[in-house]
A and B are shown apart, each in its own frame.
Chain A
Amino acid sequence: MTTSNRFLNRLFLGVVGLILLAVGVFLLIVALPGGGALRDDLGTSSRWFQSTLDDTQWSPWQGAAPASWIPWALAVLCLVVVIVGLVAVFAHGGGRIDRIVEADAPGGKIVVNTRFAEDAIENALSSRHDVASVSVSAYRLRREPALKVRMRLAASASPGPAIAAASRVVSSLDVALGATAPLPVLVEVVGAAPGRRSGSRVD
C-alpha cells in the first residue's frame, strides 16, 4: 500500500540489467580469441581517448596546472548519480498518513485521526478467539485515505468467519464515520508465524 513506484522499480532493474548484460558480453567477446575486430577497435578507441585527454587541457583557476576537464565532468556526473540514487532510495516506502477523514463542514474543519479507526477495529475484533492480533494503519491511495487492517489468525483457525467479521466491523465503522464515500479498506490475513512469506507448508 506504500507509494513506491513499482513500474519505475522494474524499469530501473531492467535497464541496469541490460547494461550489465551488454558489458558482460562485450568483455567476453574482447577477451576470447575470436574477438579480433572488436579488440582492434578497443585499442583504437583507447588511443583516441588518450589523445582527447591531451586536447582538452583546461585550467580550473589562474595558475593551476592545466589538465583535461574530462575527469572533472566525470566527477560531476558521479555526484549527480549519487544524489539521484540517494533520493530514489529514500523515495521508497512512505505514504502512511495519520488522518482518515478531513472534511470542511459549515462549523469548521472536521478531522478524524487514524487512531480512531485503529481503536474501533482492534476493539471489535480482539474479543474473537480465532484472531490473535490486529493492527491498523492508514495510507494514501491515489490521494485519498485508505485503511490497511492486518489480522493475525490463531493457529489453524478457519479464515472465513474472521474475514466476514472484519467486513462487518468495517461496515459499522462506515456508519460511525458517516462518510459519504466509503473508505477503501484492505484486510490482510497473516498466519501465526510472522514474517514468513514463502513456504506455505504447515503441519
Chain B
Amino acid sequence: MTTTSPLQAEDARADPSGDASVPAPVPHATYRRVLRRETHSSRSASAIVVLVVLVLVAAYVGVESVYAALSQRALLFSPLDTLSTLATAATSSASVIVIAVGIVTGLVGILLVVLAVAAGRRGRHTVADTRVAVVIDDHVIAAAIARGARTAGRLAPGQVTAWVSRRSSEIAVTPASGIPVDEEAVLTGAREELAETDYQPRVEPRVRVSQNGKLGA
C-alpha cells in the first residue's frame, strides 16, 4: 500500500495535468531573492578591502608581539607600549597628532557604518516576465529612451542625452539653431519606448530643452 504512493507522486510531477510543455513556474520567492541580490551591492569589495587591511595589521602586530615576547628590540613599535605611549602623547605637544589620528579613525568608522547600513542600489531595473528573472542596467534603458526620443523628434544623434534614475528619466535636448524642438513628440517617443517594456519600478520621462541652440547640430 505505502509503496505505491511515492510512484504516484513521481508521475504527478513528471506530467502535470497532461501538459508537459508548461512546467510549474519557478517559485516567486526564489526570483525575489535573486532580483534583490542583483539590484543591490553585495558589499563584498568593501568587506574584502577591510579584511585585507585587518590581516596586514594583525600580521604586523603578531610579529611585533613575538619580538616583544622574546625581549628583542621592536621593529618599529612594541604593542606592549601602546598605552604608555598614548598616555604621554596625549598630554604633551604630540596631542595634535593624536587628535588627527582620532579624527581620521572616526571618519573611516563612520564610512564603514554607512556602507553597512545604506541600501547600495546598483542602478538597475527589473522587468516582469513569466519565465525568467530580468535585471537591466539603467544605461541600457537610457540608450533606448534616447533613441526613441531622437527618432520621434527628428533630431540628430548628438542632440539628445538621456539619464535614468530609479523612478524617472531626464531627456536633455539641444536644439539646432533656428529650428524649434517638438517637445511633445520627443516626450511621446520616450513614452512609447518605455511602454514597450515593463520596467519596475516604473520610469517617468521628463524633457528638458536647452536654452542655447547649437549651430549645425
Interface residues of A in 152-179 (CB under 8 A from B): 153, 155-161, 163-164, 166-167, 170-171, 174-175, 178-179
| Contact A82:B23 (CB < 8 A) given known A21-B110, A74-B65, A191-B140 | no
Q: A110 in the interface, Cβ–Cβ < 8 Å?
A: no
Inter-chain CB contacts under 8 Å: number: 306
With A89-B51, A158-B196, A191-B143 in contact, is A203–B161 under 8 Å at CB?
yes
Q: Evaluate contact between A192 and B143: CB separation under 8 angstroms.
A: yes
Cβ of A9 to closest chain B Cβ, rounded Å:
4
| Contact of B102 with A78 in the complex, beta carbons under 8 Å | no
Q: Are B69 and A170 in contact (CB under 8 A)?
A: no
Contacts A12-B50, A85-B51, A203-B157 given: A190-B83 contact, CB under 8 Å? no
A116 at the interface (CB under 8 A from B): no
Q: Is A135 an interface residue (CB 8 A)?
A: no
Residue from the list B23, B38, B95 in contact with A174, Cβ < 8 A: B23
CA distance A175 to B22 in the complex (A): 8
Structural contact, B84 and A50, CB atoms closer than 8 A: yes
Q: A13-B43, A71-B80, A182-B24 are in contact. Are A78 and B58 (CB under 8 A)?
A: yes
Provide the residues of chain A in CB contact with B20, threshold 8 Å.
175, 178
Cross-interface CB contact of B147 among A72, A82, A156, A164, cutoff 8 Å: A156
Q: Which of B128-136, B178-186, B208-216 contacts A (4 or more CB under 8 A)?
A: B128-136
Q: Considering the chains assembled together, what is the distance between the CA atoms of A89 and B101 in angstroms?
A: 27
B123 within 8 A of A: yes
Residues of the A chain whose Cβ atoms lie less than 8 Å from the Cβ of B127: 159, 163, 189
With a CB–CB cut-off of 8 A, which chain B residues contact A203? 146, 157-158, 160-161
Query: Restricting to B42-71, which residues have a CB under 8 Å from any CB of A?
Result: 42-44, 46-48, 50-52, 54-55, 58-59, 61-62, 65-66, 68-71
Q: State which size class the interface on A falls in.
A: 35 or more
> A156–B65 contact, CB under 8 A?
no
Chain A residue with Cβ nearest B92: A31
Q: Which residue of B is nearest A6, CB measured?
A: B42
B79, B91, B133, B138: the one contacting A184 at CB < 8 Å is B133
The answer to whether B132 touches A202 (Cβ under 8 A) is no
Residue pair B112, A14 in contact (C-beta under 8 Å)? yes
Cα-based distance from A43 to B85 in the complex (angstroms): 10
Instruction: State whether A20 touches B105 (Cβ < 8 A).
Output: yes
Complex contacts, A178 vs chain B, CB 8 Å: 20
Given A85-B51, A85-B54, also A24-B107 (CB < 8 A): yes
Q: Which residues of A contact B107 (CB under 8 A)?
A: 24
Interface residue A19 (Cβ < 8 Å from any Cβ of B)? yes
B190 at the binding interface (Cβ < 8 Å): no
Q: In the bound complex, do residue B80 and residue A53 qualify as a contact, i.e. CB atoms below 8 Å apart?
A: yes
Q: Do the beta carbons of A184 and B30 come within 8 Å of each other?
A: yes
Evaluate contact between A184 and B31: CB separation under 8 angstroms: yes
A30 within 8 A of B: yes
Q: Which residues of chain A have a CB within 8 Å of any CB of chain B?
A: 1-2, 4, 6, 8-14, 16-28, 30-32, 35, 39, 42-43, 45-46, 49-50, 53, 65, 67-72, 74-75, 78-79, 81-82, 85-86, 88-89, 92-93, 141-142, 146, 149, 153, 155-161, 163-164, 166-167, 170-171, 174-175, 178-193, 196-203
